[in-house]
Structure 1
Amino acid sequence: MFCSLLLSFLSGFTAITATNPIWLIKTRMQLDSRNRGEKPMNAFECLRRVYQTEGLRGFYRGMSASYAGISETVIHFVIYESIKRRILEAKAAQHMDEEEEASKDASDFVGMMLAAATSKTCATSIAYPHEVIRTRLREEGTKYRSFFQTLTTVPKEEGYRALYRGLTTHLVRQIPNTAIMMCTYELVVYMLNG
């Protein structure tokens, strides 16, 4: 399990480092406010603007918060695997009297979906402030400079609830996505193991 967590952390770290400039451009384009009738900023204009005003380093704003977000994935998988193990143990105990090995049925996959939904809800709720901090750090011309400076400034100026702004919307998007993804993963593994 430790090896899986380490590999998950390393792959997340690598992916974040490689893709942060793309996410920064996406966030800047979403936050771009033009007057009605003005042409919206395109990706190339945004790239040029970031490079001219902030240099190469500007493309990596918010990366520290993204690194903190790796904890969400770790928490999610630890909780998911724990729930999954308990579900499988309960099923094994229920079928102990039967001689044949219990095969998976639809209820097993529903259980995996519920395990995924539960674990993602817990992990996201715990780690969500990194999302708010990352967005604040990616804003153009912002007063936010670092992860910890933003983490202390936002609650001081806006209260601790500000660190959870948008959580409900995020959960509405993430929970079904994660439940379907993990169920699909379990189904594919089950079919490959035949």
Structure 2
Amino acid sequence: MVAGPYSEHRLWEAVSTARRFARPENLVAGTLGGVVATLMLHPLDLVKIRFAVSDGLSSRPKYRGLVHCMGSIWRQQGLRGLYQGVAPNVCGSGASWGLYFFFYQAIKAYKQEGRSEPLGPTQHMISAAEAGAATLSFTNPIWVTKTRLVLQYENVECQRRYHGMFDALTKIYKHEGIRGLYKGFVPGLFGTSHGALQFMAYEELKKRYNEHLLRPTTTHLSTHEYLSMAALSKTFAVASTYPYQVVRARLQDQHTSYAGVWDVMKCTWRNEGLRGFYKGMVPNILRVTPACCITFVVYEQMSHLLRIT
């Protein structure tokens, strides 16, 4: 069933809570937001992952920076190269955002039941972390597939070539089993702190902003207000938690083999120092900040629309 420390019992507990308390518009709006943002910004995600796994191996292409990387891929493969791995990325982002909002709103509603005062920052953080763990249990195989497809270089022959999302899923399962599909799950769980910090900051910014204007905390904001809240909360979360993304990408990389999370961390520190844990952070911020803004705005507007229709 589900691999990793997030147990099957806890997973189905989260699902049961979601079925009882969540509203379908959260799932629909979150999915649409994730898909739109991913389609627009996938090339920056591809660049981020290539920088994150750049550990000095001679077989990899060497890039001098963001512009050089995108230019090299464009010259060799054109637009197709910049959108390599987009299918699992769209599926993963759509499913992740949809399930994340679905679980998050359900868990919040569960915690809010019977309480008169609104939830505080700690409860928002815990709710987001639980939603992230439940979501990752479903989506981790898609992220492994995306990483493998993104790291197929034009001039480097892999032991096994993948010819699309389903071909990659099949071959990973055939050659590496369920363990292969859940590579990077542990650092991914640490990554739930990213979502927890982001959602805590987002909820608190909305709450304090409405309180400052002497309005109810549930007041629907304007598009530019949602954009500001989303950008600030995402930047805060990325700056706080980025190294886990490097560790997860390296574990999922088909060109190298590590014994586990601790082995990745030791090798990265020994060979590249602290800087190694922040490789790809610039293209990541350039991607995730507008992606988050697009996702949150689409989510807020769509969920508001679906609630009133």
Equivalent in the alignment of 2:210: 88
Change (3 A) 1:27 1:86: same
Instruction: Report 1:107-146 matches (<5 A).
Output: 108-140=222-254, 142-146=256-260
Structure scoring higher RCO (CA < 8 A, sep ≥ 6) equals 2
Does the aligned pair in 2 maintain the 1:120–1:174 contact within 8 Å? yes
CA contact (8 A) 1:84 1:115 kept: yes
The one-letter amino acid of 1:182's match is F
Evaluate the alpha carbon distance shift between residue 37 and residue 168 of structure 1 in structure 2; reply closer, same or farther with a 3 A threshold. closer
**TM-score, normalised by the number of residues in structure 2:** 0.51
Q: Classify the secondary structure of the residue corresponding to 1:25.
A: helix
From 108, 129, 144, the equivalent of 1:9 is: 129
| C-alpha separation in 1, matches of 2:163 and 2:303 | 41
Q: Indicate the residue corresponding to 1:158 in structure 2.
A: 272
The alignment yields a C-alpha RMSD, in angstroms, of 3.1
Q: 2:134, 2:169 → 1: CA distance? A: 21
Q: Structure 1 residues 184 and 54 mapped into 2: Cα distance closer, same or farther (>3 Å)?
A: closer
Does structure 2 retain, via aligned residues, the 8 Å contact 1:87–1:111? no
Kindly report which structure 2 residues correspond to 1:1-194, keeping only aligned pairs within 5 A, or say none: 1=119, 4-33=124-153, 35=155, 41-43=162-164, 44-92=166-214, 108-140=222-254, 142-188=256-302, 192=307
Quick one: which amino acid aligns to residue 33 of structure 1? Y
What do residues 40-63 of structure 1 show as CA deviations (whole Å, max 9, x unaligned)? 631455345434442331221111
Partner SS, residue 213 of structure 2: helix
Q: Deviations over 1:100-148 (max 9, x none)?
A: xxx867xx44233112101100101111111111110011252322223
Equivalent position amino acid for 2:232 in 1: T
Percent sequence identity over aligned pairs: 29
Q: Distance in 2 between matches of 1:153 and 1:37?
A: 24
CA distance in 1, matches of 2:168, 2:301: 42
Partner secondary structure for residue 76 of structure 1: helix
Q: Which amino acid aligns with 2:162?
A: M
Quote the Cα distance in structure 2 between the aligned partners of 1:49 and 1:74.
33
Instruction: Please report the TM-score for the alignment, with normalisation by the length of structure 1.
Output: 0.77
Task: Check the 8 A contact 1:120/1:178 in 2, yes or no.
Answer: yes
Give the length in aligned residue pairs: 183
Structure 1 or 2, whichever has the larger Rg, is 1
Q: CA deviation at 1:153?
A: 2.5
Q: CA separation in 1, counterparts of 2:156 and 2:279?
A: 27
Tell whether the 8 Å contact from 2:128 to 2:199 is kept in structure 1 after alignment. no
Q: 1:75: Cα distance to partner?
A: 0.2
Unmatched tracts of structure 1, length 5 or more: 94-102
d(CA) in 2 for partners of 1:92, 1:109: 19
CA contact (8 A) 1:128 1:164 kept: yes
Tell me the secondary structure at the aligned position of residue 92 of structure 1: coil
Q: Secondary structure at the match of 2:254?
A: coil
Partner secondary structure for residue 65 of structure 1? helix
For 1:141 and 1:187, locate their aligned partners in 2 and report how far apart those are by CA, in whole Å.
42
